[in-house]
Amino acid sequence: MEIEQVLHMNGGEDQTSYFNNSLLQKLVILKVRAILEESIQRICHLGFPECITLAELGCSSGPNAILPIAEMVEILDKLSQELNIQKPLNIQVFLNDLVGNDFNTVFKLLPSFYKQIQRKRGVASCFIGAMPGSFYGRLFPQHSVHLVHSSYSLHWLSQVPKGLVTESGLPLNKGNIYIAKTSPPSVHEAYLTQFQKDFTNFLSMRSEEIVYCGSLVLTFICKNDEDDACDFFLFLPKLSFDSI
């Protein structure tokens, strides 16, 4: 079965859900506000479009799916007033994640979010919809999106890297579904090769979808150069790729 058909964060709102276990991701989203503001200013100073389209890729299912949208709407509202734009903005938002994502939990957050929008003088309306699918493929019509935001999502690869087993079928990364301290160099190389392929494909797809002078704001998980692995992955269950 394809990974994109089964991979998703824990849905719902219980104790083990992404909804209640994503504080780190929230802090990261808040840290990039200045970059979002700079990107939106650059887009809007070329002329406010009648409808500005935003995309949140890898939105998952908790309140963090709405947080970057709320940040961008607030920035647009402030900028509209500063530039004395007479006609309030219309904003279109697409929330993207894989097909197994719990979009229903996100949609339950929208009524209160829309009430907040009504208080914005520079924003006429905001329309939010889901766009299920892998961001390693085309998601939107050509030149239709002004700003794409993605936070802590692009470390998820499109597929299991090739070359993780020997010619005799023995796993090279036994007991792990990530790069660990015990992973041999060939495993590191396999993951790097797959990431390079995926990220190149990601940029190619977005280059077709983003308008002229549009923006990408991407936040990545990176490992410490002094360490061979991302230690937080050690909390994951000990599994091998041939068991999932």
pLDDT recorded at residue 28: 65
pLDDT recorded at residue 194: 93
Question: What is the residue whose two structure tokens read 């083990």?
Answer: 16
On the CB side of 107, how many CA atoms lie within 13 Å of its CA? Answer: 7
Which domains, and CATH codes, for the chain? 23-235 (3.40.50.150)
pLDDT recorded at residue 15: 52
Cα 190 to chain centroid distance, Å, stands at 23
Nearest to 105 by CA among 5, 18, 16: 18
User: What is the tens place of the pLDDT at every residue in 102-132?
Assistant: 899 889 889 988 988 887 777 878 999 999 9
pLDDT recorded at residue 53: 96
| Rounded Cα distance, 39 and 76, in Å | 11
On the CB side of 138, how many CA atoms lie within 13 Å of its CA? Answer: 8
- Given a cut of 50, the residues of the chain with pLDDT beneath it are 1, 5-12, 16-23, 228-229, 232, 234-244
Q: Which residues contact 20 (CB under 8 A, 6 or more apart)?
A: 13, 14, 62
pLDDT recorded at residue 223: 65
The sign of the torsion formed by the CA atoms of 5, 211, 89, 26 equals positive
pLDDT recorded at residue 201: 96
Q: 47 burial class (0-12, 13-18, 19+ CB within 10 angstroms)?
A: exposed
